[in-house]
Amino acid sequence: MEFRILGPLEVLERDVARPLGAAKQRAVLAILILHRGQLVSAERLADELWGARPPATAAKTLQGYISRLRKTLGDDLLRTQGHGYVLTIPPGKLDLDEFERLAGEGRIALSDGDAATAADRLSAALAVWRGPPLAEFTYEAFAQAEIARLEEARLASLEDRIEADLGRGRHDQLVAELERLVREHPGRERLRGQLMLSLYRAGRQADALECYRVGRRAMIDELGIEPGRALQDLEAAILGQDPALDPPVGTTASSRGIRADELPHVRRDEALSWEPVLGRDEQLGELRRGLDLAFDGRGVVFMIGGEAGIGKSRLADELARDARRRGARVVWGRCWEAGGAPAYWPWVQVLRSLVHDRDDVDWRSLGATGGASLLALIPELRDRSLGPGSLAADSEGARFQLFDAVAWRLRDATTVQPVVIVLDDLHAADTPSLLLLQFLAGQLADTGVMVAGLYRDDDPGEEGELSACL
């Protein structure tokens, strides 16, 4: 008897599907499969099936489900033990076990440089799947965590198989598949990197670079962070036409696809050739002098205004290029013009980028109140050992504690390198974000922090709060 969960729930006997009954009876079987070899209490099964308000007949109904399942599966596989039940699945009789075995063999072959064997094993592993795992239980609480884990395992194996195919020189055949996968999973940087590499090897350098730019813009807009270092290095290598990106010679079994994190580190700014910013020489010169001040440990704030489309973003890009080339950390925060964004949204994006870059910060040194303030703003800090405390959002004292904590974080960041903060679309900023900007302008004068704020001034009626801030 074989059990299948990588797709709709099925039980096969001699390749013939066995009837599994109504939806709740099938749910009982799914729960038992997910906890195969373990005791699952009748109380837990009832809770999963009916929640906090089971019917008066719940116990009898559950016994009926178990009885009918036992007739299908046999007494040797489904046993009563104490106040619960244990499902035993023999080795090799669950499709998930077969998938994990084949995928594991493929990963080992891939790490050994055997691309042909890796592709064969990983393709076989993926062929075990018949559709979304436990498809009929997508919205059931008992299945959601396992469904997410299984989907992640499938995608990781798919990425491994693509890497193996890249190692076999099959970049041309991969482009269409990768374009579809990147559309379906735009946040998976490994897939995007594989598409960039496939496009580049297919002679489509411009398309490879556009693929990076689209992904970067989406990450900045939606998450407020830059792509990871591996993807940035891959873009730089493509710009520089690094020989390490060339396809393997032939399609021998010993060849392997190059991973983005195996590339030699090439700074994006070393590879990219920019055209000058036309008509903005004076403003660019001012920004570069501001950058000099930041490198000298003197904080500075620049506000760049103008109508839409006159080159403000291009000017900020040029500043960011210069700053990175000189060794500064550049972070971006973008205001949300459509409304509904939480308070401090551009600063949340800035702080997220800084948090993700530093794991060695002693957040407890902020003190209980300052730590709680940043924790309220950036929930990702919750595992950074922050002290206890709570933030009363409507308190003037709490606002000051938050502002002071942000200033401390920025000051700390400059002990490693100067920090350039680009705040885009400030005309759409909320009042708290502008107040924080005002506060920081006075607190960071003796630090290596440079802030460049971009705003649109073609509609004076929309810039009252910003004008007050300026």
Helices 141-167 & 95-111 angle (0-180, nearest 10): 30
What integer is the mean pLDDT of 168-184?
A: 93
Q: Strand 78-81 and strand 40-41: pairing?
A: unpaired
Query: DSSP state, 98?
Result: H
The secondary structure of the chain in percent helix, strand, coil, rounded to multiples of 5, reads: 55, 10, 35
For the ranges 271-275, 424-428, 443-447, 465-469, the lowest mean pLDDT is seen at 271-275
**pLDDT attached to residue 256:** 43
Distance CA 83, CA 298 (A): 70
Its sign, for the CA torsion 335, 337, 341, 342, is: positive
| Res 391 pLDDT > 90 | no
| Beta strand extents in 10-59 (DSSP E only) | 10-13, 16-17, 40-41
Give the confidence band of 383 by pLDDT, cuts at 50, 70, 90: very low
**Confidence at residue 465, expressed as pLDDT on a 0 to 100 scale:** 57
In the prediction, which pLDDT does 31 show? 95
Question: Closest Cα partner for 224 from 364, 422, 439?
Answer: 422
| Token pair belonging to 468 | 């007050």
| Pick from 74, 77, 41, 76: nearest CA to 59 | 41
pLDDT at position 332 is: 86
- pLDDT-wise least confident of 72-86, 338-352, 400-414, 450-464: 450-464
Query: Is 0.75 topped by the overall pTM?
Result: no
Assigned token pair, 312: 């403000």
Q: Are 20 and 70 in contact (CB under 8 A)?
A: no
Residue 385's pLDDT is what? 36
Tell me the CA end-to-end span of the chain in Å, nearest whole number: 74
Q: Which residues, at least 6 apart from 271, have a Cβ–Cβ distance to it below 8 Å?
A: 235, 236, 237, 238, 239, 240
Could you report the per-residue pLDDT of 206-244, keeping only the tens digit for each?
A: 999 999 999 998 888 877 888 888 899 999 999 888 888
- Looking up tokens 């099959």, which residue turns up? 170
**Using CA atoms, how far apart are residues 423 and 346, in angstroms rounded to an integer?**
7
Cβ contact 305:455 at 8 Å: yes
Cα Dmax for the chain: 84
Region 106-128: what's the mean pLDDT?
Answer: 94
pLDDT tens digits, 71-88:
999 888 999 998 999 999
Sign, Cα dihedral of 434, 453, 290, 362: positive
pLDDT-based confidence at residue 380 (cuts at 50, 70, 90): very low
CA angle centred on 287, ends 281 and 293, rounded to 5°: 140
Which stretches does DSSP call E strand in 236-373?
300-306, 329-334
**Pairing verdict, β 449-456 and 419-424:** parallel
Question: What does the pLDDT read at residue 336?
Answer: 75
DSSP-assigned states of every residue in 404-432: HHHHHHHHHHTTTS-EEEEEE-GGG--HH
* pLDDT for residue 310: 62
pLDDT of the residue at 312: 73
Please give the Cα distance from 199 to 174 (Å, whole number): 9
pLDDT category of residue 345 using cuts at 50, 70 and 90: confident
Confidence (pLDDT) at 138: 85
How far is C-alpha 443 from the chain's CA centre? 33
Give the pLDDT confidence score for residue 367 in this predicted structure: 40
Break the chain into its structural domains and give their ranges: 1-167, 168-273, 281-469
Q: What percent of the chain has pLDDT over 90?
A: 44
Handedness of CA 274, 352, 434, 419 (dihedral sign): negative
CATH architecture of 168-273: Alpha Horseshoe (1.25)
How far apart CA 104 and CA 122 sit, in angstroms, is: 8
Count of CB atoms within 10 A of residue 175's CB? 16
Reported confidence tier of residue 395, pLDDT bands at 50, 70, 90: low
Give the pLDDT confidence of 31-61 residue by residue, as tens digits. 999 999 999 999 999 998 998 788 999 999 9
Classify 352 as helix, strand or coil: helix
Going by C-alpha positions, the residue among 193, 117, 121 that lies closest to residue 157 is: 121
Q: Categorize the per-residue pLDDT at 386 as very low, low, confident or very high, splitting at 50, 70 and 90.
A: very low
> Please, what CATH class does the domain formed by 1-167 belong to?
mainly alpha
Q: Is 76 helix (H, G, I), strand (E, B) or coil?
A: coil
Q: CB-based contacts of 300: which residues, under 8 Å, 6+ apart?
A: 290, 293, 294, 450, 451
Query: CB within 8 A of 302, min separation 6: which ones?
Result: 286, 287, 290, 450, 451, 452, 453
Tokens of 358: 């530093």
Pair of tokens at residue 388: 């206890």
What value does the mean pLDDT of the chain take?
Answer: 81
Which listed CATH number (3.40.50.300, 3.40.50.150, 3.30.1060.10, 1.20.1050.10) goes with 281-469? Answer: 3.40.50.300
pLDDT beyond 80 at 98: yes
